Amino acid sequence: MPYTDPLEPLLQREEELRHQIARRLVEEAGAPPPPALSANHLAAADAAIANWEEQGEEEQDQRAFRAMGPLQELLAEHQNLIEQIFDIKDRRLS
pLDDT confidence bin for 55, thresholds 50/70/90: confident
- What is the rounded CA–CA span in Å between residue 21 and residue 68? 14
Average pLDDT of the segment spanning 8-24: 96
pTM assigned to the model: 0.85
> For residue 65, what pLDDT is reported?
62
- pLDDT-derived band at 74 (thresholds 50, 70, 90) equals very high
Give CA 71 to chain center in angstroms: 10
**Exposed, middle or buried, 40 (CB in 10 Å: 0-12/13-18/19+)?**
exposed
4-31: average pLDDT? 94
Under the banding of pLDDT at 50, 70 and 90, the label for residue 58 is: low
23: Cβ–Cβ under 8 A, 6 or more apart, which residues?
Answer: 33, 37, 41
Sorted by sequence, the CB contacts under 8 Å of residue 89 that are 6+ apart come out as 7
